[in-house]
Structure 1
């Protein structure tokens, strides 16, 4: 991945934390950071005229340049060596960030925590982007400074490979362990890449280990542990994320092209996890 980390800047109270996370991600990936602010089309600007936002912030967006300058200060404090660019684009935030994600290594947004963290209403922009963004999407939510392992959520063969690659790379860059959690009531009917037949838990564990063997060789510094939680998938997912610094879950690509709602696993992660969530398109 050579494109920048793109982060949405909106001037909200929670946005500094989002920018800091994005800056550290850019540092880990060895790429630049792009601070992107979306603004509506100003009244009186003319049909084809785009005003100079950085010059004077006219058109009803008086603090645009100040918001970006403040975001850049937070980013430089978090990752002083990262190359930073910034810009203001006219359009609805979801549309703007979707477009910018096409050349990005990673897109980073907040979870709209002002709407009530841990509730089903949380994360409207993040959920919209999850259905259309190109590449991985990192949603900053939960504890302000999460610690612990990187958590890979395993919920089917079709979402395993790309999500696992992202999770291993993040664990290696962060110097963290990687924990895989297999959600029993979603993946138990089919081994990873195998036929649809009844399987024992030991067979599933073996199939999962084989599926991850190449990545374990590529990232020998990452200690991998596998959890086999009991109970429902929602409870297992929320409990596993409580002591993790990042939760990684795969999103089936058909949800992007058909603009379908997220599956229950991804929705639970996006709305209820107590740590940042990476949604990786598979």
Structure 2
């Protein structure tokens, strides 16, 4: 009983629930309330993702495009992290820190349209929002390994086996930042709005130069073919891993693991795969949203 109590307390310390969605402790309720009045600038670029679906990869691509276009001299490591975050060693929440950043700002968030600032959920004028999505099986496996690495770094024992994590957290939607399907479908409803660009992790892996070219065009940055190839090469997984591994930020150093499509096969049982296939069918059928799993 003592062991169960300690484990429960640790879980409570790690996440809390606001309006039915679980959040890590560094996303406080005050930070979430502040989203309603967060001011969006006309030249803001926002990267929206569910956790572990390509956030830092897309940030690196965007940053290198802006740099090549002469619109920033900052590196991706100079960027403020997720809009809704505040880590224990930081005196101010990120949404406050972002107010002091020079334009154009690149803003990252894991929030849903219902919880994101109105200027992101309903962008106006020249605001650009890039939504990155990844197939749910690889997303689940990537998050599971990320959580294990973070707990190990903090000197904590893993509090989930893969089966527990999948069956108790990911599949039923009892997951940090909410249900995977609710999150992506909330943003997918914006697909006809020209302020939004939707990217899939699997398409980026298949043809990275094409993805770079698409993002550059969306951001209205003119680049020649040589520049696009240079950026794509710099943003391959091996080069990105080196960048992240040497980041000055602790959480970025554990972000990159394999960066492949289909790694879910190393973890999923046949039954788990069947259950998630069924959920995909239930949630995605008729939405026009499909994913490649290998």
User: TM-score under structure 1 normalisation?
Assistant: 0.32
Greater per-residue helix proportion: 2
User: TM-score under structure 2 normalisation?
Assistant: 0.31
Q: Give the structure with higher Rg (CA).
A: 1
Greater per-residue strand proportion: 1
